[in-house]
Amino acid sequence: MTLIRIDYSPVHELVTSLFAYTDNKNQLHDLGNKWRKEIEKKLPASFKKKLEEMNLYETIAYLHLIIVDSPEKDNVERFLSWFKSLGEGQLYELLAPYLEDGIPMGLKTFRDLSHEIMLEWQQAYTIPPEIHELLGRSAARMEQLKPQLSYIDLIDEATSGIVLDSSDEYNGLLLIPTYHIKPLNRLDFVSNQLIVSYAVDDEQIDEDTPTNQLLRMTKGLADEKRLTLLHILANGPVTFTELQQKTKLSKSNLHYHLSLLKTAGLLRMHFKMPNEKYKYSARPESFNQLKGLLESYVFGLTGYNDR
């Protein structure tokens, strides 16, 4: 039986916000370059070089795995102090179940460099408390759903469309609610452990302002090519190559349209163990969700509960 853990921690979000900052080539993050440039002014000149040495793309999974088992994960300052105090033996004990070839830079360098980067990042950027409250509520909701849903349906619900293959076996699944990379999700696979950082969207500000989710869904449908894709995907799952053959779209154009549909929650991405290509299909329940969101916003109807 697959062990499923749902873990909210302010330290997880500290690391995820740092990842969002480093992911500067990705134009789909809601926060965008303006947010990034404002923080950059507060960071020391040496920070960029340290990030390059750290290679967060490759090491973020190990940080999440340390955080989830830390006795100090509920407080960033206490966690950083605890993390800095870890000996190499203690660090190895924490990571041993997940280390197949070790960490190339070595555990001591990994600890020292990670600590320096997280400390400097925390000093430059303060995550607003309402974000932590939002993530805490999402984690509590997933805990409520956990006994009611299979792990495949739970991941689908959390990520609005990532579907695991039932034939794949995992030693463990770790679900982490995240804000700073929204509306994207991130999957990390380490030693048969799948870490799912799933996007949690903003709640409605006031009754006169549409939610980001509603805006993404209506934008997703407001294009002939994307409607054609959904028509094809209704008979899915379909590979990217098959979609390209059917639509005659270029790779970059197809990637763009699929990305907009995915961030809108209008399609499913069928995930098979690493090195396998995604398949795509339409997500029928999202259209009922859209109807509810529209009626709630346009007509002020009550009784519709979003994620």
Residue (of 249, 287, 288, 251) closest to 266 by Cα position: 287
Task: Report whether pLDDT(163) > 70.
Answer: yes
pLDDT at residue number 179: 97
The pLDDT of 44-55, averaged and rounded, is 92
The pLDDT of 8-22, averaged and rounded, is 97
Residues paired with residue 6 on neighbouring β-strands, in sequence order: 175
Q: How many helices (H) and strands (E) does the chain have?
A: 14, 8
The pLDDT of 243-267, averaged and rounded, is 94
The pLDDT of 118-127, averaged and rounded, is 96
Whether the CB-CB separation of 218 and 297 falls below 8 Å is answered with no
The pLDDT of 37-60, averaged and rounded, is 92
Residues paired with residue 281 on neighbouring β-strands, in sequence order: 268
Tokens of 189: 């696979």
Task: Report whether pLDDT(141) > 80.
Answer: yes
pLDDT at residue number 160: 94
> Is 2 or 262 the better-scoring residue by pLDDT?
262
pLDDT at residue number 307: 44
151-159 own/partner pairs: CB under 8 Å, 24+ apart: 151/2, 151/4, 154/4, 155/196, 155/198, 156/268, 157/307, 158/196, 158/198, 159/185, 159/196, 159/198, 159/199
> Is 301 or 103 the better-scoring residue by pLDDT?
103
Question: What gap in Å lies between CA 241 and CA 20, rounded to an integer?
Answer: 29
Percent of the chain with pLDDT over 70: 95
pLDDT at residue number 157: 95
The pLDDT of 211-224, averaged and rounded, is 92
What value does the CA radius of gyration of the chain take, rounded to a whole number of Å? 20
Give residue 258's pLDDT band: very low, low, confident or very high (50, 70, 90): very high
pLDDT at residue number 302: 56
Percent of the chain with pLDDT over 90: 73
pLDDT at residue number 98: 87
The pLDDT of 251-255, averaged and rounded, is 95
